[in-house]
Amino acid sequence: MKITRQEFARRRKALMAVMEPNSIAIVPAAPERQRSRDTEHPFRQDSDLHYLSGFPEPGAVLALIPGREHGEFVLFCRDRDPEREIWDGYRAGPEGACCDYGADDAFPIDDIDDILPGLLEGRERVYYAMGKDREFDRQVMDWVNSIRAKVRSGASPPGEFMDLSHFLHDLRLIKSAAELRLMRHAGDISARAHSRAMRYCQPGVMEYQLEAELHHEFAMAGARFPAYSTIVGGGKNGCILHYIENSATLKSGDLVLIDAGCEYETYAADITRTFPVNGRFSPEQRALYDWVLKAQRAAIAEIRPGNHWNRPHEVSVRVLTEGLVELGLLQGEVDVLIENEAYREFYMHRVGHWLGLDVHDVGDYKIDGQWRLLEPGMVMTVEPGLYVAPDNERVPKKWRGIGIRIEDDVVVTKEGCEILTEAVPKEPDEIEALMAQSQPGA
């Protein structure tokens, strides 16, 4: 299950169709990152370059040149090197870039300073994401300045830079059928992992042991890496939105919040579930949980073409504020509390974000100052939550230290929406029933 060469070609064609005549687009590969003295982080390709080509190696630069006589897709990449390949693995080389990845022309990356200025010369516009990589920014300007230095000899440097991200990221925002198949699969793998963690959980287990269960399920299904740092927060740790230490012992009577998703073929899943360590919700935990679940259902119901991006968030704010008032955590009129943002003490983040090649994927949320309207093919998370800080002395002690978030991945369809991650339980009775299968004495 992969994106085909034909789809990568359609993506390049779609981007070039919105580029001005006589222009060039330049996209560099992600740099390799050092982890420690003699080791590097696993390489993960830049999402933009991957989207346009599927080329997986570092040390590469992609150029798109609409109307170029000798081919519009040019790729610079590392040359074949049998000695380095013994140590570091296979390289496609320029020949493989053409044969395996559809490049019209390919050159060794070591020759880019000699060749790319010639491709830039005579082009009126350069499409490039300036500011993303400072070192490569300098390299691009060096190429342009080398042309400017030859103006008296008749050279014609580019006269305008355009932000490539504005055009490319709009294309990435609408997912194709093939992309949605990959994202459904990533969602299914991640759902199985969350269910596995629920079954494994019991008092005395370490947070990192649940993390290990999740990652094992990811890898065994072909998703070697998580899409982001896995969060396993037991008890008060669930009130820390980006808690990743995952080092505490899980205690009976506490909840555990898991925010985790795999990356499959570079596409991300993003799921959060909150459940009781001992398999049974306390009355206070269940009361807060029910309101978060109600808010999520209400938000998902607002996801359909024509509704604006912020509508699900607005609905989640109203439902959660109503719940906080009913439970006595806030006092006052709901409309006034919303206007004053009193809910932010307990619900301080938005209801979701775009999802795709990046877990916080690209795409504008507003256009000309107005919330963007939802369209079929957009994928977003829906993740309302309530967090009662353990040191919040303005509320009764029974509520303190409870953190709850429920998150699913949702695609906008022609008729409404589809939940990509519904295979993992979130109804409290279903969670308790699943956990009862593995709890001691069951």
Of residues 297, 304, 353, 400, which has the active-site annotation?
353
- Is 242 catalytic? The answer is yes
In this structure, the number of other CB atoms found within 10 A of the CB of residue 346 comes to 24
Cα diameter, the chain:
87
Q: Which of 394, 435, 375 is nearest to 196 (CA)?
A: 435
- Is 267 catalytic? The answer is no
Of residues 37, 134, 152, 242, which has the active-site annotation?
242
* Cβ atoms 3, 47 nearer than 8 A: no
Taking the C-alpha atoms of residue 293 and residue 310, their distance in angstroms, rounded to an integer, is 19
Give the CB-side neighbour count of residue 215, counting CA atoms within 13 A. 15
Taking the C-alpha atoms of residue 229 and residue 269, their distance in angstroms, rounded to an integer, is 12
Parallel, antiparallel, or unpaired: how do β-strands 231-234 and 255-260 relate?
antiparallel
- Is 38 catalytic? The answer is yes
Of residues 46, 105, 207, 270, which has the active-site annotation?
270
Of residues 259, 265, 302, 408, which has the active-site annotation?
259
* Cβ atoms 253, 398 nearer than 8 A: no
Q: Which of 222, 223, 242 is nearest to 232 (CA)?
A: 242
Report the Cα–Cα distance between both ends of the chain, in Å, rounded: 39
Q: Which residues contact 96 (CB under 8 A, 6 or more apart)?
A: none
Of residues 51, 192, 387, 408, which has the active-site annotation?
387
Of residues 318, 349, 350, 372, which has the active-site annotation?
349
Report helix angle 5-18 to 164-173, nearest 10: 130
Of residues 35, 38, 135, 339, which has the active-site annotation?
38
Taking the C-alpha atoms of residue 7 and residue 1, their distance in angstroms, rounded to an integer, is 13
Of residues 72, 179, 211, 407, which has the active-site annotation?
407
- Is 270 catalytic? The answer is yes
Of residues 360, 365, 375, 430, which has the active-site annotation?
360
Q: Which residues contact 183 (CB under 8 A, 6 or more apart)?
A: 175, 267, 268, 269, 355, 356, 379, 409, 411, 420
- Is 349 catalytic? The answer is yes
- Is 32 catalytic? The answer is no
Q: Which residues contact 24 (CB under 8 A, 6 or more apart)?
A: 63, 64, 65, 119, 120, 123, 125, 126, 127, 158
In this structure, the number of other CB atoms found within 10 A of the CB of residue 253 comes to 12
- Is 259 catalytic? The answer is yes
Of residues 405, 408, 409, 432, which has the active-site annotation?
405
Q: Retrieve residue 266's tokens.
A: 């570079």
Q: Retrieve residue 297's tokens.
A: 């259902």
Q: Which residues are catalytic?
A: 38, 242, 259, 270, 349, 353, 360, 383, 387, 405, 407
